[in-house]
A and B are shown apart, each in its own frame.
Chain A
């Protein structure tokens, strides 16, 4: 008998949650856009929402097979700090596949600020990776992450230019803050 009551109570609670509480929560959430909720939940992990078009472009970035033929074509490479940007292909290999690495990509790509868009690197690529487009795209995303407060920030002077990432908040904690 006791067990039956307990079971009934549990089912009733579930019913209330499913039929009343959940729809109310849904309605409240409607006011906040899907993008805002995505950003809140995933930017701490340095993930940003992508449009369908942006995702399609990533397929082309991923075509890199690390053959290094673009490196041979690039004259700029001779004048960059190689400890930061060892090669052009390292951008595609190191960052083209993983968004969570983008803040680091910024550091490498700053070395390419004097690139004059000769596009010889793209002409040399057997896989047709749009390197210029990729570099612009990585920088744009790194900037977006910076703005959201999850990019790479420089430590103040005296640290010898060392860099640090902001501490990653646990995803659950980030979610809790929202509902309070």
Chain B
């Protein structure tokens, strides 16, 4: 493995690993990032959630501003096992720096985001089911522009011929929140098998100016006479050139165009994944992709600092075969309160779908300096730091804090790894 020449080795190429690598590289360290394959970050919706911030009916009320103030601290105090808590108040205070750093790098890599807003009202986004909620940031194409409620008239684009991009749900959901919501139906994509195209394929098509023309022609006709202020698209607006696509859609239709958050086979997730790779390359991070089998002995003998950002069940950082284990160092796993070993899955899950599933909070434990802990609660190994969802004690989805944890712990772990010297 040629990695031995680097100061810092990051294991995992999702949001947490990328932030850690960038933070360490910023401090002048040489960094290598091992990456198996795209992980959970490539499936992300595009929203940068830090914690739950108001949704649905509340979005138009003035009370949101005061209700969301201090929510970050509230999450930390409500669940003491949460990584926001584990890193301590001084660590948590750096979340703004961390987010500004990564969102800046993503913008440089061609994926602009709405400015990070953790303390204010955040930004409005719409998901595929038409649910409107506030997030700390999201891809710029996903930010719903706020206008006076009375003047808002929203069109929802529906591809009549497409099988999976039927935005009927989006329409129904938006109607529960806003008064003037109308469908904008277009017969597209119009080729024989167009109904089966994946979101990413449609995105690639729209990246090409010639590819856009057919859709734009249809859109222009479809919105005519509807006097729309906003146009909501499914999450398909370009894989690489999202800004151009959104600008063009807005120009053609005379509206403020917005994409919904990504769903299954998320195009915004792919965009993010690609932009992170570009940002890493631009920062001079050495990328070793397709690094399956990173758990072998060579990794354990690496002399420099290691950041473990290997994710959970999708990334491969955790695995459950007979027992639940952390795959690289075999670190002890718990749910933030109790150790998890070989309990059967029905003990680790709740019967209620939206209940508290212990297995979804599973991960390793860390101390304030992001060092993974062994069974006795002592740092497992010198120079080893952890970031992202491999850290337990939080449910990335249910807590609405997955991206926030990845960004914060990635940043802190990257800084600690950069500072670390073998004693």
CB of A81 closer than 8 Å to a CB of B:
yes
Smallest beta-carbon distance B314→chain A, Å: 5
**Do B265 and A68 touch across chains, with their CB atoms under 8 A apart?**
yes
CB of A82 closer than 8 Å to a CB of B:
yes
**Do A71 and B265 touch across chains, with their CB atoms under 8 A apart?**
yes
Chain B residues with Cβ under 8 A from A125's Cβ?
37
CB interface residues, A 66-101, toward B, < 8 Å: 67-69, 71-72, 77-78, 81-83, 86-87
With contact pairs A123-B289, A126-B315, A128-B292 given, residues A69 and B38 touching in the complex (Cβ less than 8 Å): yes
User: Which of A65, A87, A124 has a CB less than 8 Å from the CB of B198?
Assistant: A87
Bound Cα distance from A67 to B269, whole angstroms: 11
User: Which of B42, B197, B290 has a CB less than 8 Å from the CB of A82?
Assistant: B197
Chain A residues with Cβ under 8 A from B289's Cβ?
123
Bound Cα distance from A124 to B42, whole angstroms: 10
User: Which of A68, A81, A82, A126 has a CB less than 8 Å from the CB of B36?
Assistant: A126
**Do A69 and B198 touch across chains, with their CB atoms under 8 A apart?**
no
**Do B193 and A82 touch across chains, with their CB atoms under 8 A apart?**
yes
Chain A residues with Cβ under 8 A from B197's Cβ?
82
Bound Cα distance from A83 to B314, whole angstroms: 29
Bound Cα distance from A81 to B40, whole angstroms: 29
Smallest beta-carbon distance A87→chain B, Å: 6
Bound Cα distance from A51 to B324, whole angstroms: 28
**Do A72 and B270 touch across chains, with their CB atoms under 8 A apart?**
yes
**Do B198 and A68 touch across chains, with their CB atoms under 8 A apart?**
yes
Bound Cα distance from A150 to B112, whole angstroms: 55
Bound Cα distance from A68 to B193, whole angstroms: 18
Chain B residues with Cβ under 8 A from A72's Cβ?
198, 200, 265, 270
* Residues 19-44 of chain B, each 1 if its beta carbon lies under 8 Å from chain A, else 0: 00000000000000000111110110
Q: Which of B197, B265, B289 has the most CB of A within 10 A?
A: B265
CB of B316 closer than 8 Å to a CB of A:
yes
Bound Cα distance from A77 to B193, whole angstroms: 11
Chain B residues with Cβ under 8 A from A67's Cβ?
42-43, 265, 314
Q: How large is the interface on B (under 10, 10 to 19, 20 to 34, 35 or more residues)?
A: 20 to 34
**Do A126 and B316 touch across chains, with their CB atoms under 8 A apart?**
yes
Chain A residues with Cβ under 8 A from B196's Cβ?
82-83, 86-87
With contact pairs A65-B314, A67-B314, A71-B265 given, residues A123 and B200 touching in the complex (Cβ less than 8 Å): no
Chain A residues with Cβ under 8 A from B270's Cβ?
72
Chain B residues with Cβ under 8 A from A87's Cβ?
196, 198
Chain A residues with Cβ under 8 A from B198's Cβ?
68, 71-72, 77, 87
Chain A residues with Cβ under 8 A from B43's Cβ?
67, 69
Chain A residues with Cβ under 8 A from B315's Cβ?
126
Bound Cα distance from A81 to B195, whole angstroms: 11
CB of B108 closer than 8 Å to a CB of A:
no
Bound Cα distance from A87 to B40, whole angstroms: 20
Bound Cα distance from A157 to B193, whole angstroms: 24
CB of B201 closer than 8 Å to a CB of A:
yes
CB interface residues, B 40-78, toward A, < 8 Å: 40, 42-43
**Do A124 and B201 touch across chains, with their CB atoms under 8 A apart?**
no
Chain A residues with Cβ under 8 A from B39's Cβ?
126
Of the A-B pairs whose beta carbons lie under 8 Å apart in the complex, a sample of 29, sorted by A's number, is A65-B314, A67-B42, A67-B43, A67-B314, A68-B264, A68-B265, A69-B37, A69-B38, A69-B42, A69-B43, A71-B198, A71-B200, A72-B198, A72-B200, A72-B265, A77-B201, A78-B201, A81-B193, A82-B195, A82-B196, A82-B197, A86-B196, A123-B289, A125-B37, A126-B38, A126-B39, A126-B40, A128-B36, A128-B37
Interface residues of B (CB under 8 A from A): 36-40, 42-43, 193, 195-198, 200-201, 264-265, 270, 289-290, 292, 314-316
A-B interface, 6 closest residue pairs, ranked by CB to CB distance from nearest: A82-B196, A68-B265, A82-B193, A86-B196, A123-B290, A72-B200
- Besides A69-B38, A83-B193, A123-B37, 15 new A-B residue pairs in contact (Cβ under 8 A), listed by A number: A65-B314, A67-B43, A68-B264, A68-B265, A72-B198, A72-B270, A77-B201, A78-B201, A82-B193, A87-B198, A123-B290, A125-B37, A127-B316, A128-B292, A128-B316
